[in-house]
Amino acid sequence: MWVRVLHFSDLHGDTRRAQRILRYAQEYDVDALCGTGDFERWSGGGDKEVLQLLASLEKPVLIVWGNCDRRCTTYGLPNIVEVGSSGIELQGIRFASRPVENGVWLTRVPPAVGWDALTLLFGSFRLRKQLRQSAPRAVLSGHIHFAPRARVVQFRGRKLLWARAGIRTAFLLNLRTLQARSLPL
Buried b (16+ CB within 10 A) or exposed e, 75-88: eeeebbbebeeebe
pLDDT for residue 131 is more than 90: yes
Average pLDDT, the chain: 92
Beta bridge partner(s), residue 154: 159
pLDDT for residue 1 is more than 60: no
| Separation CA 128–CA 112 (nearest Å) | 5
State the pTM of this model: 0.93
Strands (E), 40-184: 61-64, 80-82, 88-90, 93-96, 104-107, 138-141, 149-155, 158-164, 169-174, 179-184
Q: Which domains does the chain have, with CATH numbers?
A: 4-184 (3.60.21.10)
Q: Which amino acid is at 91?
A: Q
| CA-based end-to-end distance of the chain | 27
% of residues, the chain, pLDDT over 90: 75
Mean pLDDT, residues 161-175 taken together: 95
Phi, psi of 151 (to 5 degrees): -165, 165
Angle between helices 15-27 and 47-55 (to 10 degrees): 10
Residue 181, pLDDT score = 97
| Separation CA 11–CA 104 (nearest Å) | 21
